[in-house]
Amino acid sequence: MTPDARARVSPSAEIQRRTFLGGVASLLVTASVAAEPHGVERPLRIGYLSPTVSTPLEAGWLQEWRIALSRRGYPEHVVTLEERYAGDRLERLPTLATELVRVRADLLLTFATQATLAAKAATAAIPIVMIAVGDPIGVGIVRSLNRPESNITGLALSNVDTAGKRLEFLKQAVPSLSRVAVLTNPRNEALTNLHMAQTQLVAERLGIALDRQAVTGPEHLAATFAAVVRQGVNGVLVLPGPGPELPSLRSVADDYLAHREQRLDQVRAALELLGADASARAIVEHVYADVDPSVWWAAELSVQAQLDYLNS
């Protein structure tokens, strides 16, 4: 979530969400550490591992977590929180997890799938409380949500089952769809494999061939698109993956809207020049004359959508 998006969330809703996350995390934490006699203050060292940078969202619910933990017999002055952030560099997570083990943390609190996998690989003895893991069973963190084994418990999200829906929607939009390139983030391989498995099931049912393409950064997108066009795909799916927090949802949305208006103006100008009945292909050849013709097919789909919008 971006700062602008958070600003539009009502204060009461934001507080309730933070309080909920903090309260649940504190319950899991206190259940995972050894109980002490009432009134005895035992120093507690907790490691926090995140794949991202430190954000106001995380800072907010970590503060609520501290408050809730204090109410359950662990006041703030006896709790040391060792925070480690990978800064969106997932390859750093194993090293950071090992650091937290070496500082003799009593418990590890992990945010998201990759951090939890790194913590699991680093220790089988220290209790781990996971937060916001996409599919802990599918990626091999636990074998059961009802009875998590070993040293891991926590909160899970589940969105993998909807992965195939993206392909179904694309097929509805393009009935002639027969071969689809699936762009994936190789840094998020565990969750990507789960999404691919669900997408493959739908692809087989719809008679669609999938071509998996790993993209490590935006600088490789142009080459990837050129490659998949040469391979004869007629559709593209982009699987979800981790990325940096956007500084402002409003500025990003404004940029997209401005770009859309620019393209609509170009289509309007092309229609005035070529005639009101000009085809999407003719408009593409006019508007995208400076673009590699191998990707005109994608532009043609976009222009057709714009023509439908202008004619509606």
Of the residues 157, 186, 205, the one at which a domain ends: 157
Of the residues 157, 180, 210, the one at which a domain ends: 157
Q: Where are the alpha helices (DSSP H) in 123-179?
A: 163-173
Extract the tokens encoding 136: 């802990």
Rg (CA), the chain: 24
On whether the CB atoms of residues 51 and 245 are closer than 8 A, the answer is no
Same domain, 8 and 134: yes
CA-CA distance, 173 to 217, in Å (whole number)? Answer: 27
Same domain, 189 and 114: no
Instruction: Establish if 244 belongs to a structural domain.
Output: no
Average pLDDT over residues 152-176: 79
Same domain, 146 and 165: no
Angle of helix 189-206 relative to helix 163-173, nearest 10 degrees, comes to 40
Of the residues 99, 123, 157, the one at which a domain ends: 157
| pLDDT tens, position by position, 99-157 | 999 999 989 999 888 999 999 999 999 999 888 787 787 788 888 776 666 788 887 76
Same domain, 91 and 189: no
In this prediction the pTM is 0.54
Q: Which pLDDT belongs to residue 2? A: 38
Instruction: Establish if 77 belongs to a structural domain.
Output: yes
- Residue where the block lists tokens 């998949």: 228
User: Domain span at residue 203?
Assistant: 161-238
Same domain, 41 and 93: yes
Same domain, 139 and 168: no
Instruction: Establish if 288 belongs to a structural domain.
Output: yes
Instruction: Establish if 133 belongs to a structural domain.
Output: yes
The percentage of the chain sitting over the pLDDT mark of 90, rounded to a whole number, equals 24
Same domain, 165 and 272: no
| pLDDT tens, position by position, 216-230 | 777 787 788 878 878
Look at the chain and report how many structural domains it folds into.
3
Domain CATH code at residue 168 = 3.40.50.2300
Question: What 3-state DSSP class applies to 128?
Answer: strand
